[in-house]
A = this chain, B = another copy of it.
Amino acid sequence: MTDLNDIGRRAKAASMELGALSAVIRNSALKHIADALVENAGAILAANAKDLENAAAAGMSPSLMDRLRLTEARISGISDGIRQVMGLEDPLGEIASMKTRPNGLRIGAKRVPLGVIGIIYEARPNVTPDASVLCLKSGNAVILRGGKEAINSNIALVKTMQDALSNLSLNPDMIQLIEDTSRETAREMMRLNRYIDVLIPRGGAGLIRTVVETASVPVIETGTGNCHVYVDKSADLNMAVDILYNAKCSRPSVCNAAESLLVHRDVAEAFLPLAKKRLDEKNVEIRGCGRTRELIPDVVPATEEDYFTEYGDYILSVKVVDSLDEAIGHINHYNTKHSEAIVTSDYFSAQKFLDLVDAAAVYVNASTRFTDGYEFGFGAEIGISTQKLHARGPMGLRELTTVKYVVYGDGQIRE
């Protein structure tokens, strides 16, 4: 059985070394990793081929196979991504302000790494280098636990990164992989509070739920997105069609895609046929309320369950609402606190929607698809938080840090 305490202890020790490295050294580590991945592509692709072979034998679906697959071009893309992360501003060390208290103590909050970050993910081997370099850049050691389907790829990727660290005389324990992909070991990892400071699950709703329910290590919940587009009575209907189509169809499998459309009753008769015509381009299946079914053809009746569902596919639930308030109430009841959009020309409707909808990102007259670390200008993304603690929405390098209060005194004691 894997000794997680040993992995944890080594990660903690490595995190102490890593936290003390300058940005120059951390960036140098990233550069060596980026180079090593390309140089070692042969071995990585050979390992990936084994995973693909096993997956094919196990009857994995083509879309999952595609996520599992690495190619020369994909490795080169990962390597380019690492060079971009090198160029991002160092998130560490800043003391945004230092204040002097009446007793002369000078107190500042210094930005420091979280320490040891655990990443639990599924069968996408690209997460292995992507997450590792974001942790490294932000001064954190990382313990990776990927899906068993990608284990050979992950072993090859991690070995490549560890060798690159060793070649720089850095501690290779800064990046560690749990090679035992049993559920018991994953469960143990989720409760390794002594060594892991934060756990970030990346994957489907089932994985996220398991981690949230099992972990005693603090978790950042990521990913699930039951996102809505609400078309207000004052909406520019052509703009609304464009936004809806983009939010639903530009990449239906991702978490910031729209799953549900709400339409004000005053414009439903005009808007729904326009929307239907556009969505037909991608054969989007519509599941709607009674009023929707009166206004457009080929609508499956929507169940309560539909309104809670993140389809991740060319399916859209639709409801006609009587008011903006009903739309806001519906969204706050059914959503996953990810991304929500209103299309409106009315100032007060826009402000009310922004104020009252509870989500990580709330949009006026734009597609929900923009909720993303790159689109938000963070330059990188480790995931999208749908919880409220620590980080909300796209998480960049800064969200992989915390603060430490540094206090300069000259003998102060408390009364």
Contact check: which of B358, B369, B404, B410 meets A361 at CB < 8 Å?
A: B404
Please, which residue of chain B has its CB at the minimum distance from the CB of A110? Answer: B354
**Cβ < 8 Å to B, chain A residues 111-131:** 114-115
Cβ of A101 < 8 Å from any Cβ of B? Answer: yes
Is B413 a contact of A362 with CB atoms below 8 Å? no
Contacts A358-B115, A366-B413; A405 near B376 (Cβ below 8 A): yes
State the CA gap A105–B414 with chains docked (Å): 50
**Chain A, interface residues (CB within 8 Å), range:** 35 or more
A9 to chain B, nearest CB (A): 10
Cβ of A370 < 8 Å from any Cβ of B? Answer: yes
Contact check: which of B198, B367, B388 meets A412 at CB < 8 Å?
A: B367
Q: What would be 5 A-B contacts, judged by CB atoms less than 8 Å apart?
A: A20-B355, A115-B358, A197-B387, A218-B388, A366-B409
State the CA gap A343–B360 with chains docked (Å): 44
Cβ of A243 < 8 Å from any Cβ of B? Answer: yes
Contacts of A220 in B (CB 8 A): 389
**Cβ < 8 Å to B, chain A residues 326-369:** 332, 350, 354-356, 358-367, 369
Cβ of A87 < 8 Å from any Cβ of B? Answer: no
Cβ of A406 < 8 Å from any Cβ of B? Answer: yes
Cβ of A41 < 8 Å from any Cβ of B? Answer: no
Mask of A99-113 contacts with B, CB within 8 angstroms, 1/0: 101000101000000
Cβ of A250 < 8 Å from any Cβ of B? Answer: yes
Cβ of A66 < 8 Å from any Cβ of B? Answer: no
Cβ of A393 < 8 Å from any Cβ of B? Answer: yes
A121 to chain B, nearest CB (A): 19
Contacts of A309 in B (CB 8 A): none
Contacts of A406 in B (CB 8 A): 354, 361-362
Contacts of A393 in B (CB 8 A): 403, 405
Contacts A390-B390, A405-B376; A414 near B107 (Cβ below 8 A): no
Cβ of A219 < 8 Å from any Cβ of B? Answer: yes
A310 to chain B, nearest CB (A): 16
State the CA gap A375–B103 with chains docked (Å): 9
Contacts of A363 in B (CB 8 A): 407, 409
Is A411 a contact of B20 with CB atoms below 8 Å? no
**Cβ < 8 Å to B, chain A residues 369-383:** 369-371, 375-377
Mask of A278-314 contacts with B, CB within 8 angstroms, 1/0: 0000000000000000000000000000000000000
State the CA gap A84–B45 with chains docked (Å): 64
Contacts of A356 in B (CB 8 A): 16, 19-20
Contacts A16-B358, A362-B405; A413 near B243 (Cβ below 8 A): yes
Cβ of A246 < 8 Å from any Cβ of B? Answer: yes
Most buried by B among A389, A393, A408: A389
Is B411 a contact of A388 with CB atoms below 8 Å? no
Cβ of A392 < 8 Å from any Cβ of B? Answer: yes
